[in-house]
Amino acid sequence: MPALTIIPAVDIQYGRAVQLTRGVSSSEKVFGDPLEMALRWQSAGAQWLHVVDLDAAFSRGSNSDQIAQIVAKTQLNVEVTGGIRDDATLQAALDTGCARVNIGTAAVENPTWCDQMIATHGDKVAVAIDVAGESLATRGWTKTEGDLWPLVERLNRAGCSRLVVTDTQVDGTLTGVNVALLEAVCARTSAAVVASGGVSSADDVAALATLVDRGLDAVIIGTALYVGQITMEQALRAAEIGVEQIKR
């Protein structure tokens, strides 16, 4: 049984690596150069990197050049999210050389286009489902609209291969993960499910790793890594421990 994949996050705002609390733009903690952060996580054992273009998400610019630099100067598999809402922004993201893109707001606001992109690009397109309760958070989490479960059902019909599920109410808070939400999503889809938001400790990672046999594929970790509440090495080991628990 494969171990849970640990994916560190690099969120870019105004050209700097930051972490936000519950996605609020003004809550940023600044951690320096995005490329330096990417290289740090690579040296600690990461194979994937989750890059969020916050300026694109908030419709105030793009950090595509920096993302392309990360792709070019690391050996990481990079997935890009933030502001991918039409053909032009999706192509700009793919042009960075990234391995995968995550469509968020457009999955809710432009479902026909989103489903077409899934059909066209296959597993290079994942869908980011940002959840506030059972409502969907869009436009950089500044709006809520629609319900979670009809979206999951529609994406199943569209053949979406990967769902990135973020509980926006715990993201960046270091208060623990919403295991119940992730269990429920795994039960309703055959797509690979990625957990995001709230990781605070190795125990959180180990708990998530016990869901790999139900379809949980990876966990994205941001703030906990940056402030030292967990290291990449600890996260990788916790993922292995969780899978060992399933085997017993």
Residues designated as active site: 11, 130
**Per residue, what are the HEC states of the chain?**
CCCCEEEEEEEEECCEEEECCCCCHHHCEECCCHHHHHHHHHHCCCCEEEEEEHHHHCCCCCCHHHHHHHHHHCCCEEEEECCCCCHHHHHHHHCCCCCEEEECHHHHHCHHHHHHHHHHHHHHEEEEEEEECCEEEECCCCEEEEEHHHHHHHHHHHCCCEEEEEECCCCCCCCCCCHHHHHHHHHCCCCEEEEECCCCCHHHHHHHHCCHHHCEEEEEECHHHHCCCCCHHHHHHHHHHHHHHHHC
Rounded CA separation 200/177 (Å): 8
Rounded CA separation 116/119 (Å): 5
Judge contact between 175 and 197, C-beta under 8 A: no
**Other CB atoms closer than 10 Å to residue 138's CB: what's the count?**
21
Compute the half-sphere exposure of residue 35: CA atoms within 13 Å on the CB side of its CA. Answer: 12
